[in-house]
Amino acid sequence: MGGEADTIGADLSWAEAHSALVWWLDAGVDVAIQEEPRDWLKPIHKPRPEAAEPAPPPNLEQPTHDTLAELQDWLASSTQLPLASATAKRIMPQGPEDAAIMLLADAPTLEDFASGQPIGGESWELAKRMLAAIKIPVDQAYSASLSCFHVPGTRMSPADREACAEIARNHIRLARPRRLLLLGDGPAQALLGKPLPQARGHAHKIEGVRAVATFHPRQLLNQPSNKSLAWKDLLLLMEDES
């Protein structure tokens, strides 16, 4: 062949020819002759990568624990507990295993957090007098709260309450107290399914432990007239079960 085309081809080096060929291949010119016309303006549809499956919601229920110490370690470290957040203040249970009594209180307040215990400040001073009235030494009481987090301005949702109730039942089972005193409306709602006014005045069984619901000491400080009702609740708790 001759003519201008041959002259242009002759002027291309091997590297330039290779580069031009690669460019045309990248542009989609992969055959010299094609039987069917090609729509060069048709957009190229690349297969979409499969969407990743959404992560499952965090498990709010505790994994299986065999000892109280394992449960306490989980409460101290888990980020999947109800009401857990980067700013929530965590307050751990206190007291011995196999205690004479377990005090399960409402979610802790700022006063409790400042004291570093589930029931703190003036409320704890009143709780100690309540224990002395039924002849239980303070060092024989195990205290915990329905949620170990102090989260100002946050209300516990029904789902949170249900998850906290499951944790509390396991907590009671592993702590093995001889008596259980539910302090406030939160524990009564979570573990008995009743508001405090309906739960009071009756002995219950929770994980095989005799339980009574009464006012949180914080409530008694605000409404001292209820102390006589709380005293009746304490007497009911300590009644002989035989």
The pLDDT tens digits of the residues spanning 159-207 come to 999 999 999 999 999 999 999 999 999 999 999 999 999 999 999 999 9
pLDDT (0 to 100) of residue 3: 47
The label of the residue with tokens 């979610």 reads 107
Residue 2 has pLDDT above 80, yes or no: no
Query: Residue range 49-72: average pLDDT?
Result: 64
* Spacing of C-alpha 132 from chain mean position: 35
Written as one string, the DSSP assignment of 47-99 is: PPPPPPPPPPPP--SPPP-SSHHHHHHHHHH-S-STT--SSPEE---BS-TT-
pLDDT (0 to 100) of residue 40: 54
pLDDT (0 to 100) of residue 58: 45
User: Rounded to two decimals, what is the model's pTM?
Assistant: 0.73
Which has the closest alpha carbon to 168: 196, 123, 118, 206? 206
End-to-end CA distance of the chain: 117
User: Band of the pLDDT at 152, cuts 50, 70, 90?
Assistant: confident
Burial classification of residue 174, based on how many CB atoms lie within 10 Å of its CB (0-12 exposed, 13-18 middle, 19 or more buried): middle
User: Lowest-pLDDT range, 16-25, 113-122, 164-173?
Assistant: 16-25
Q: Are 183 and 215 in contact (CB under 8 A)?
A: yes
Query: Residue range 120-144: average pLDDT?
Result: 96
Phi then psi for residue 142, to 5 deg, are: -110, 120
The hierarchical CATH code for the domain 68-238 is 3.40.470.10
User: Band of the pLDDT at 31, cuts 50, 70, 90?
Assistant: low
Cα(204)–Cα(211) distance, integer angstroms: 5
User: Band of the pLDDT at 119, cuts 50, 70, 90?
Assistant: very high
3 state DSSP class of 183: strand
Query: Residue range 208-214: average pLDDT?
Result: 98
pLDDT (0 to 100) of residue 14: 61
**H or E element at residue 114:** helix 110-115
The full set of domain ranges for the chain reads 68-238
pLDDT (0 to 100) of residue 50: 55
Which amino acid is it at 159?
Answer: A
Query: Residue range 91-118: average pLDDT?
Result: 92
